[in-house]
Amino acid sequence: MRFAHRRRFVVAIVGSGIALILVVIVGVYGLLRGPAQASQSEPPAPTAFVSPTPTSPARAGQPQPVVVTSAPELFARSVAHALFTWDTRDPGGLSSWAQKLVDVADADEAAAVAADVRGYLPGAESWKQLSAYGTRQRLELESVSVPAAWSTAQGQATAGQIPPGAAAFTVVGTRHRVGTWDTEAVRTERRVTFTIFIACPDRKPCTLLRISQLDRPLE
């Protein structure tokens, strides 16, 4: 019985984040749009900013907001961590971990972003099983880079097809999960890669456009 329970726990940790990937990204991952209105004047050169560190941050184990910034790579890194960081011990439940990403989504892409995020989180039943072991997850970043195919997509796009300030970052890292079984910590690791699409226009805070399927990044 002891071995069977332990094996079920490890399978739950390893499997729940893999079996629920949704079909979301096609072509340039849903970014292509109708023509945007032309600007009447050349905008000033953008200046990156980062929101001040809050004086009373949420305690560890609770959802942390994605950083508010106009710096593309910093925003992409924060999104990547938010996407893979969760803790089943938090009383807010599964939805609270998804909401932090939807909160920074582009208004026109919020529904699509929500679907993308659900593909990375455990389903409701898996969350319940993982909660029994106090399972939590984090991401160790290895690299965040602009994929070569993004330049090709930009070069082939016609005016207005890609949102102003749009950027793509492919993330490579390791997903770490840990839970407690019979007072003993059980850990699993999994290498992951994916692409984050964002927009950071004219010194305004970046917004999240889409997220590729897990392990199917833009190369």
What phi-psi label fits residue 29: left (phi over 0), alpha (psi between -120 and 50 degrees) or beta?
left
More confident residue, 47 or 79: 79
Question: What percent of the chain has pLDDT above 90?
Answer: 64
| Amino acid found at 48 | A
Q: Which residue has the higher pLDDT, 96 or 43?
A: 96
Instruction: Inform me whether the pLDDT recorded for 29 exceeds 70.
Output: no
Give yes or no for residue 28 having a pLDDT over 80. no
Average pLDDT over residues 34-57: 39
- The whole-angstrom separation of Cα 90 and Cα 119 is 20
Query: What does the alpha-carbon distance between residue 185 and residue 68 come to, in Å, rounded to a whole number?
Result: 34
Position with higher pLDDT, 7 vs 20: 7
Residue 155 has pLDDT above 70, yes or no: yes
Q: Is 63's pLDDT higher than 70?
A: yes
**Residue 61 carries which DSSP code?**
T
Q: Does residue 72 have a pLDDT over 70?
A: yes
Query: Distance between CA atoms of 64 and 57, rounded to whole angstroms?
Result: 8
CA distance 68 to 57: 14
What per-residue confidence (pLDDT) applies to 8? Answer: 54
Is the CB of residue 84 less than 8 Å from the CB of residue 139?
A: yes
pLDDT at 185: 92
**Structure confidence at residue 15 (pLDDT):** 46
pLDDT greater at residue 178 or residue 37: 178
Question: pLDDT: is 124 or 42 the higher one?
Answer: 124
- 139 pLDDT higher than 50: yes
Pairing between strand 207-211 and 184-199?
A: antiparallel
User: Using an 8 Å Cβ cutoff, are 179 and 152 in contact?
Assistant: no
Q: List the structure tokens of 137.
A: 């997850």
Sheet holding 184-199, edge to edge: 86-87, 136-145, 166-181, 184-199, 207-211
Structure token digits, residue 133: 């072991």
Give the mean model confidence (pLDDT) for residues 133-158: 94
Task: Indicate whether 10 pLDDT > 50.
Answer: no
Confidence of residue 57 (pLDDT cuts 50, 70, 90): very low
